[in-house]
Structure 1
């Protein structure tokens, strides 16, 4: 059902298009349908965010895509295939599904949770083990450390990463996400959003994501659907278009105050010119690293692990007091991804009381450094454009 292609901009697309034709859901005893004849087209490889007030039907519509809720009428197509009458169990094995807290089975290890659907599909043990380790690495969890752990031994953010890995286990073309990051703290939520952006950049799945948070929709979505009661599509457009030109007063009210500052969430870290830091691997000779940093005129060094991932950001003065570069991981290290927004970068700097952030790219390797002056310049530019 899925086929990996490369779009003109060289971005990999492994998702398929979704088309809804008159999809309706009526519940017995209710005068009005919960979902009223929705027509919608989602392009292959796009992330589309469903937003709207509680009870508007967005989650019901999402669950009809994998037939957790059966439609009362209409048709659902994945690619050119009408899946409306298909066996629902067979269909669900071809669609990833992520909910709050990952929905992990507590009595199963992380590895067993991830390998569940491939096992149902008849994959052999060796293939399942390879896929499990590949996905743990993809979501930023060391397979050697996490595959044998149980969900209760994980933080909320780690559970959610495993939930995403499990949803991707059988390489489905479509990923459904029902408010997956709603139950974690703001900093963890930002990191999970960044992780999803990075994964999507690499895999190009078709993602349908339900959220109550319009800022999250702006950050993650290629397109946003704003629903009213009955899953009426009030506006379906890019985040930029919805912020600039709300289709109705209802949309403007839903976007809320501060739409101008929300424009800052449209600017990605990747859109700015990053500073190239001096890097060093843990265990390197400190004197050599200090000499390298001094020659480059740098006061700080980004220390990485054996796989090029940042673990600390010590000053040159700190390194002069050591013989070898420490392998100690700084849990408060301010890190954002290339797909993070400038708003995220500023929040991360403030939370860590730092004047900059380390930026990571593919597989969490160091891509550069962003400093607060660049973010403030972008804010000033945004305000200037608005006044103009």
Structure 2
């Protein structure tokens, strides 16, 4: 029997539309900001710095943001962050001083610190029971469609119009996301996050307990951290690949960004087919690790691409397993952790992800400062995506046995106990 469409749920639809507006504008900003910096201040340290500054606040203030989300609720926190970002984008359109621009980028990064985990919490809350893989694939498809059309749209707008028009347009998009999300209460029947006034130390205790009880999280997080190094390095790499190796104009860089998103849309078809068979956690873990390895090896091949067209094709191919890995990653987390523990997991794992992504962006300095050749830089960055996966492919059978001994019902009871205060008080 066919299941009803996910989009028939009002809560899912509201979060989905908000996520679509935000993702589209976010990917436009990924492309537009370097183009603006390159146009006004050059393509050296200023370019790398602007990419890193947007991520830095998410590393430093993520636990604080998690506390705000849990006290104010994700709806209010995300809506406020979207409005703050919109105001900053209006200012970015008019700045002529590099320092002022970096301050605005920093504030946008602070807003992202609330918006990103808040949207993840809202996404988890509107996923119907038993349809995690399907719902996660839908959200990742939205993000990858935004990656396809967002960067070229940003390049087109900046080519035919001035930043004074492009960045206010991005601001309007963020306001539309806030409007789509709405400010009302959680819909009837929708899963809720339990308010918890725990301090930061409480978050760390719950996270430590979660890791002890769910060793599979290490097999998810450690390869993901390596992937974030490669992903961070990919942004300056593609910019230089387009400009230095292929000798093309800056706007063609946006095509390379979009190509990986196009591959992910194809990957969504694969992921939806796999959703019917990838039900248990062990099979999802296998899919996650194999897909992560395939994506890392494929993107490594970019360094050998002789033309822009072949690089675009390589990115499309690499985007297919990337989608499968993302969907499996979020599905495993939703299967193994309660909503409350998911909030703690994201609060502490997202800054780590951002830290490693910033490290990946900063590896671009190895090339821009002349310490490594273009090819050497990319080999080092790509190793981050490939090497951490290998030991877990060997360790996977042991993880399978451990997981079979830990039922979801048992984990849910442990989660309820921990969030009631047991772990915060230091008692098991």
What TM-score comes out, normalization by structure 2 length?
A: 0.24
Which structure shows the higher helix fraction?
A: 2
Choose 1 or 2 for highest CA Rg.
1
Q: Which of the two has greater strand per residue?
A: 1
Larger RCO: 1 or 2 (CA < 8 Å, sep 6+): 2
Q: TM-score, normalised by structure 1?
A: 0.26
